[in-house]
Chain A
Amino acid sequence: MSEILFYLGAFMIIIGGICDIFGAIGLLRFPNFYIRLHAATVGTIGGAVIPLFGTSLLALGADFLPHKYAIAGASFVTGVIVLLAAPAGATALAYATHKAKLVKWEPKVDDLAEVRRND
Chain B
Amino acid sequence: MKRLLGLLILFTVVIGLALYLSLPTQENLRSLGEFYLKNSYFGNYSAKSPEVVTSILWDYRGVDTLFETSVFFLAIIGSLTIFRVEMKKKERGEAKSSLPLPVPVVTKFIATLLLAISASIALHGQVTPGGGFQGGAALAVAPLLIIAAYSKYALENNGLDKTKAIVLRSIGLLGIVLIALAPLLSGGYAMQNQPIFPAEALGVPLGGSLVYYNIFEFLAVGAGFTAVFLLLAIPEEEFKRKGGAYE
Contact = CB atoms under 8 A, between A and B. Distances in A.
Given A95-B99, A95-B100, A88 B107 contact: yes
Interface in A62-119: 77, 81, 84-85, 87-88, 91-92, 95
Interface in B99-120: 99-100, 102-103, 105-107, 109-110, 113, 117
A92 B109 contact: no
A72 B139 CA distance: 23
Nearest to A89: B103
Contact of A77 (B100, B105, B106, B117): B117
Contacts, number: 27
A70 to B, nearest CB: 8
Contacts of A87: 102, 106
A85 B149 CA distance: 12
Of the four ranges (under 10, 10 to 19, 20 to 34, 35 or more), the interface on chain B belongs to: 10 to 19
16 contacts: A77-B113, A81-B113, A84-B109, A84-B110, A85-B106, A87-B102, A87-B106, A88-B106, A88-B107, A91-B99, A91-B100, A92-B99, A92-B103, A95-B99, A95-B100, A95-B103
B144 to A, nearest CB: 13
B69 to A, nearest CB: 27
Contacts of B100: 91-92, 95
A92 B148 CA distance: 10
Given A84-B106, A85-B110, A95-B100, 14 more contacts: A77-B113, A77-B117, A84-B109, A87-B102, A87-B106, A88-B102, A88-B103, A88-B106, A88-B107, A91-B102, A92-B99, A92-B100, A92-B103, A95-B99
Nearest to B101: A91
Contacts of B103: 88, 91-92, 95
A85 B102 CA distance: 10
Nearest to A95: B100
Contacts of B117: 77
Contacts of B102: 87-88, 91
A81 B99 contact: no
